[in-house]
A and B are shown apart, each in its own frame.
Chain A
Amino acid sequence: MEKTNDKRLTNAALLFVLMIVGVMLAQWWMAPSYSLTNEQVLEKIDQEATLVLPYQLLSLNEAQARETTALFLMEESQLSTPAFKQLLFVPFGEILSDKKLSKLNKNEPILIFGKTETQAMMALQLLVSKGYTQLRAVANDLDVNQQLLTHGFDPATAQTKTEKAAFDYGRFFKTSGGVNKAAGPAAKIPAAVEVVKTAGGCS
């Protein structure tokens, strides 16, 4: 390694690692600010019980409510909610503004009420990606929750959420047989991805 050619190899190794360091610096400079990776966000929203169903909302006891911040994704709300620690009204489009975020504690329970269930869940997902750890979103749209909190327990809505089949699709919507006009031309997406394993190594 002390000859010119040996040094060239050492320099090549140095160049290689410096190139990687350069890519890492570029990555840190260019990457948007997130606290969790996309995969971690998916794991969190998929595996944790993030959605509060109507019967769970009704059974929220006073002690729990007093520790929880209710975040309403609207200017104001007439919902007669339990006595939460604090009520915050932030329109959906402004939830990531620094001024609004400063009012939320990353490690305290936050319950999100949206105009729609999907809006509440999107807000939850974005806040999870920013590092908020104890977030839950209220299921269903505002009118359902309005009715629930006004009238109390209703078996028809006790376990509902919008992400459920509302109709018996198969009875009305035939997707096979007949003139399959809707199937269109050749498939535009591969049916699956074949993983090819290759051997390697050198002697």
Chain B
Amino acid sequence: MGPLIPQGFVNPDLNLFFAFVIGLGFGYVLEQGGFSNSKKLAGVFYGYDFVVLRVFFTAAITAAIGLLLMSYLGLIEYDMLYINPTFLWSAIVGGVIMGFGFILGGYCPGTSMVGAVIGKIDAMFFVIGMLIGIFIFGSFYDTFMPLYHAADLGSLMVYDSLGIGRDVFVVALTLIALAAFIITRKIENNVNGITDAPKGLFHRSYTAPFAILLALAFLVLFLPDSPSGKWFEKDAKALLEEAAAGKQYISTEEVAYKLLHPTENDLVLVDLRSSDAYSRFSLPAAVNIPLADILKNTSKQRLESSKGKLVLYSYSSTDADQAWLLLRRNGFDNVQVLEGGLNGFFAHFFNEKAGETEKDQANLFSERFKTRAEDAFKTGEAAQKINAKASPVTTIVDIVPPPPGKGGC
């Protein structure tokens, strides 16, 4: 399902509109968390209020665990997520400027917008300062560009740079968050002079959510990439029942009839052979999706968006039946197999001995071998094959003197 834009659920042209809507929601959450108050925000630097740290840690581990579990459930395609590239120097310089501004003004860019929207004058000044900064950066972009693009590390992940597994990193992050919650509470109590704080490592309201998050983080560690069976998949016994009854097959005559009557043609022919074989020959208007690629996201999207009945074919029924089982299990209902495949189609319409060859496969193989052998000997392919394997070779050196004036030593 997700990410929504690359998967085609959201029109890319509406990208900014959805960013705006999400931004409104994000702003509301920040405001509700008390993030429109610069004193509260700056408290993290002076030790009297660590709410910023706790909220962002909670958000980070909730998002990380949520993302991995949604990826496990197949709701998000993890590999399609866009990862911001890391430019090391601009991150360091930008981080220093932002940290300095955060201590000085008590806001970060997002929270300053929230403060400004609810009428905080200091936040409005902060936003004006931010806009001036943006203007200067834009005006002198060419000057800043070497620094901006310096040390491009690509789409770097923290766990890759640490050399640990993704799931291990999420567990470690959750444990670090747990430690941070305990330590910051102690610091807060000391700085604020609270002596009668409730017992326990951290506040009671955290206990249940954090216990669940921690349990889920450990669950992620042991879960496979995806469940072996998914809720939308069809049961194996139901598939076997259909296959045993031969319900997947569509006759060669029906396919031929529909190909010859375009107005009645509701078929989408899918050629499962290799792209080489497809380029040499295919049925009219067929599309090529090799069997090995049939479950790729792009292939599934193409098949899902097709407007007709899918008819799979390969040389015989073997590969097509394999693909049919895979697609049916995956929830595709409108899919059939060309009975007998290309060989059956050809034999039915072109071969004079159609009935004979269809019934007697051994005879067909024998004829095919004779033709193949004849071609191999005629064209010299057989001789080449034998030469290629000839070994050991006795080399006879026959020195022929060069003609006069044509070199030599």
Within 8 A of B (CB), among A16-42: 16-18, 20-21, 23-24, 26-28, 30-42
Contact between chains at B51 and A6 (CB < 8 Å): yes
Interface presence of B116 (CB below 8 A): no
Instruction: Known A8-B32, A182-B259; judge A1-B228 contact (CB<8 A).
Output: no
Interface presence of B399 (CB below 8 A): no
A10 to chain B, nearest CB (A): 5
A23 contacts across to B, CB distance below 8 A:
73, 75
Complex CA distance for A117 and B314, rounded to whole angstroms? 14
Contact between chains at A182 and B361 (CB < 8 Å): no
Complex CA distance for A41 and B237, rounded to whole angstroms? 16
B311 to chain A, nearest CB (A): 11
**Per-residue A-contact encoding for B335-374, CB less than 8 Å = 1, 0 else:** 0000001110011001100000100111011101110000
**How many residue pairs at the A-B interface have CB separations less than 8 Å?**
283
A203 CB contact (under 8 Å) in B5, B8, B108: B108
B341 contacts across to A, CB distance below 8 A:
163
Which of A28, A161, A193 is packed against the most chain B CB atoms within 10 Å? Answer: A193
B21 to chain A, nearest CB (A): 13
Contact between chains at A170 and B280 (CB < 8 Å): yes
Residue of A nearest to B33 (CB): A9
Instruction: Known A31-B233, A118-B321, A184-B262; judge A7-B205 contact (CB<8 A).
Output: yes
Complex CA distance for A201 and B203, rounded to whole angstroms? 31
Contact between chains at B73 and A183 (CB < 8 Å): no
Contact between chains at A183 and B365 (CB < 8 Å): no
Complex CA distance for A175 and B229, rounded to whole angstroms? 41
Give the size range of A's interface with the partner: 35 or more
B249 to chain A, nearest CB (A): 10
B240 contacts across to A, CB distance below 8 A:
92-93, 95-96, 126
Instruction: Known A10-B206, A20-B70, A156-B369; judge A27-B227 contact (CB<8 A).
Output: yes
Chain B contributes a number of interface residues (CB within 8 A of A) equal to 112
Contact between chains at A9 and B347 (CB < 8 Å): no
Contact between chains at A197 and B6 (CB < 8 Å): yes
Contact between chains at A38 and B6 (CB < 8 Å): no
Contact between chains at A14 and B236 (CB < 8 Å): no
Contact between chains at A96 and B237 (CB < 8 Å): yes
Contact between chains at A121 and B82 (CB < 8 Å): no
Interface presence of A68 (CB below 8 A): no
Residues of A at the B interface (CB closer than 8 Å) are 1-3, 5-14, 16-18, 20-21, 23-24, 26-28, 30-42, 45-46, 91-93, 95-96, 116-118, 121-122, 125-126, 129-130, 140-141, 143-144, 147, 154-157, 160-167, 169-170, 172-173, 175, 180-185, 187-193, 195-203
- For the A-B complex with A96-B236, A140-B361, A165-B315 known, give 16 more contacts whose Cβ atoms are closer than 8 Å: A1-B55, A1-B205, A5-B34, A20-B70, A21-B216, A33-B235, A37-B228, A37-B229, A126-B239, A126-B240, A144-B362, A144-B365, A154-B366, A161-B318, A165-B343, A190-B302
Q: What are 19 inter-chain pairs, A to B, with CB distance below 8 A?
A: A1-B205, A16-B62, A20-B73, A27-B230, A30-B231, A38-B233, A45-B322, A96-B236, A122-B321, A126-B325, A140-B365, A160-B365, A164-B315, A165-B277, A166-B315, A169-B281, A180-B284, A190-B302, A198-B12
